[in-house]
Amino acid sequence: MKGSTYRRCSCRDPKTGRELGTSCPKRGTRNHCTYSIRQELPSREDGSRRSFARGGYSSLKAAQADLDHVRALLGLAEADDREGTELIAAMLAEVSSEKAPLPEVEETRRRLNSGQDLIGSLAVAEWLDRWLAGKRIRKSGLNRYETDVRVHLKPHIGGRRLDRLRVSHLSEMFTAIADANAEILEQNAQRRAAVDELTSIPWKGAENRARRKVLKEAIDAMPAFRRVTGPATRQHVKATLRASLNDAIGQQIITFNPAAHVEIDSVRKPKALVWTDERVTKWRQTGEKPSPVMVWTPEQTGAFLDFVADERLYAMWHLIAFRGLRRGEACGQPWSETNLDTHSLTVSAQLVQDGWGVETSEPKTDSGFRVVALDDDTVGVLKQHRQRQDADREQWGPAWVETGLVFTQEDGSWLHPGKVTDLFERLVAASGLPPIRLHDLRHGAATLMLAAGIDVKIVSDTLGHSDTRITRDIYQSVLPHVGKSAAEATAKLVPLQRRTEAEQAARKAEKVQKKDHRAKKAEGKKRVPASKSKSKEHKASRKKRAE
């Protein structure tokens, strides 16, 4: 296609106002005229012509460079690629009319190959909306992503160009979140102090009523109590952004993921601790739990199960305590996947919360689909539970809701996972045992299996973990007697000289003690007993009297 560079004079005739062009008397003067370019573009579909034109270049070299740039852009589309040719031609025509900078050749090539718009720039917010719309995951997971995008990502970086997002921008975002946390804590403290002061003011008296009124108005004007964005939430926000940008890389929209390189505070997952006697005593004195994750001892677990033995959902607590099912898995376990004859059940579904609503879902991961072996006692408990459920079905008659689930409400309908948690907490409080969460009952099942010497791979499969490292890192809180046995066994493996000397000294002392004992025993035999001595004296005195 035709294209050219040419000199142009912008001087005008003072009388007519027209450009002088080649008739300008100063045209021959150096640097007086500027240079322009014109490049013919592929015709429109209706056959009309179009071109790229631009002027104002100070030198022929600068004008030629831009003309070569335009021709390189035109050359990105293959000769037989009519769609690509049209897209590039339309882009160049728009750039020419708007006098916008020429786009880079490689960036345009990438956009063309990935099917993106060649004109304009994709904002982070626009990409996040597109990414969310294309996600095909469980609703609860999608809601979590949506919250991260709406609350954190869009307000901080939504207006930035996606292809120009940098690590520094993300560092600024997390710094702003930390600053907001400090502000929230300060405002919460102020509001809490005002509420405490209001509580301390008596109701009686005109002066007190006036003070209360003023303080109430001040409290109403304060921001409401808010939660800070904790380390775990910040990590999740980072993970959400990283996942979305990875998909953008996969679609060749960007080539670099800044979320993979930004550094934020790490999250220390709480380790499970066992409720030892010392910890229970301190908890009763202070009301404080040593760790967010606490595990009952076998005796405490047994005491709880004995306490709830007559509860309608006893079988659920028993199953979670011994086999480690998750709350949603227990609530969603169907009878069709529970084979009491073969002593096994298959975890293939769960009930999950969406807000306060409940929906059925598949297990969270592939490893969540698993077969769980059942012991004889658990099978017996489930058989009794089925008999009770059959009796409930007959009692409710036509009003019975047939869900086919093992654990249901009185009328057969779904159990609400949130209500199950509330019920468990009330039962624990009523039992007088130290508090644990329902999920901690699963921790306890893992701990009991590990303490019983079950191979960690079997424990991992039973719990539905994708990797045994998860089992070791999270669930292996060692029971006290197991730890003591391990410590003793380890200590005996190391030959210490001081231990040998101590053992020798103990053996020597024992020999001396035995020797002394034997000597005393022999001396006792030689010595005449006092009773015999007195008897001889008595006989001698009688003999004298007789004489």
Q: What is the amino acid identity at position 232?
A: A
pLDDT digit of tens for each residue in the chain (547 aa)?
A: 678 888 777 677 777 777 666 677 666 666 667 888 999 999 888 888 999 999 888 888 999 999 999 999 999 988 888 888 888 998 899 888 888 889 889 888 887 887 777 766 789 999 999 999 988 877 778 888 999 999 999 999 999 989 889 999 999 999 999 999 989 998 898 999 999 999 999 988 888 889 999 999 999 999 899 989 988 899 999 999 999 999 999 887 888 999 999 998 887 777 778 899 999 999 999 999 998 889 898 899 999 999 999 999 999 999 999 998 999 999 999 999 999 999 999 999 999 887 778 888 888 777 788 999 999 999 999 999 999 999 999 999 999 999 999 999 999 999 999 999 999 999 999 999 999 999 989 888 888 887 777 887 888 888 887 777 766 666 555 556 555 665 666 666 666 565 566 667 777 788 778 777 777 777 665 555 555 555 555 555 555 555 5
* DSSP class of 90: H
* DSSP class of 494: S
Q: Give CA–CA dist 536/7, Å, rounded.
A: 156
CB 225 within 8 A of CB 130: no
pLDDT for the residue numbered 94? 87
The CA-atom distances, in angstroms, between 147 and each of 48, 190, 323 are 50, 28, 34
pLDDT for the residue numbered 513? 81
Q: Residue 38: how many CB atoms within 10 A of its CB?
A: 17
pLDDT for the residue numbered 235? 93
pLDDT for the residue numbered 405? 95
pTM: 0.63
Q: Give CA–CA dist 500/504, Å, rounded.
A: 6
pLDDT for the residue numbered 359? 85
User: Quick one: which of 164, 151, 133, 155 has its CA closest to 234?
Assistant: 151
Residue 365 DSSP SS3: coil
- Quick one: which H or E segment has residue 510? helix 497-526
pLDDT for the residue numbered 488? 66
Q: Give CA–CA dist 190/531, Å, rounded.
A: 93
Tokens matching residue 262:
């930004």
